[in-house]
Amino acid sequence: MGPEIEAQVRAIQAAFADRPAGLVRHVERVVDEAVDLAGYWDVDPERVRLAAWGHDLFRALSLADQLSLAREAGVPVGPEEEAEPVLLHGPTAAVVLRQRFGVMDDEALSAIRDHTLGAPEMPLIAKVILIADKVEERKRRRTPIMREVRRLARRDLDLALLCWADWKWVEERAHGWDSHPRHWASRQAWVREHHNETGLPARVAEGLFETE
């Protein structure tokens, strides 16, 4: 591991000293899952470890503290976040890790920011972190469909994201929950991208093209 990233990871790990043990174990499982998945997609495991350790840095804060810290960090707080402040922990962590921990890797920070709701366009590392967070071992036991999402992610990461979003949509409809506008925009973008790809004509062998 490069010395700069190693120092940043150690600093984040130290910040978890007063976090609940259950949260620390979750983060450790996400780190393992993300590094394993990154190997399938040729993503730098050092950057993946950094993003995985940072993604839930503020997950355990009280709802009032989530709102307070987000406002202090300059994170936009809309009515959805007012109603459900836990949605702020990723965006807040991304800002704080840049400002206080010296993390300047924009793609790793976007992975931290967007790991809860996704984004219409995501770098590869962000897709890895989001999926790893949803399919780590304890969540697979609790929600068996995540086993299938995990398996799919090893051959088609974008389709795995879409399948997770579809599952989330069904859960929200079944429980009468609203979809967050940012997540809904992400899902719509992923659906369009998927259908654009599947609607492309089959590739024609080069030797079959007519030439003058």
Looking at beta carbons, which pairs linking 73-76 to residues 24 or more positions away fall under 8 Å? 73/99
Task: Answer for the pair 155, 186: CB distance below 8 angstroms, yes or no.
Answer: no
Nearest to 183 by CA among 167, 196, 199: 167
What is the rounded CA–CA span in Å between residue 12 and residue 31? 13
> What tokens does 193 get?
């991208």
pLDDT tens per residue, the chain (212 residues)?
588 999 999 999 999 999 999 999 999 999 999 999 999 999 999 999 999 999 999 999 999 999 999 999 999 999 999 999 999 999 999 999 999 999 999 999 999 999 999 999 999 999 999 999 999 999 999 999 999 999 999 999 999 999 999 999 999 999 999 999 999 999 999 999 887 765 555 544 545 444 44
What predicted TM-score, i.e. pTM, was given to this entire model?
Answer: 0.90
Domains of the chain from N-terminus onward: 3-143 (1.10.3210.10)
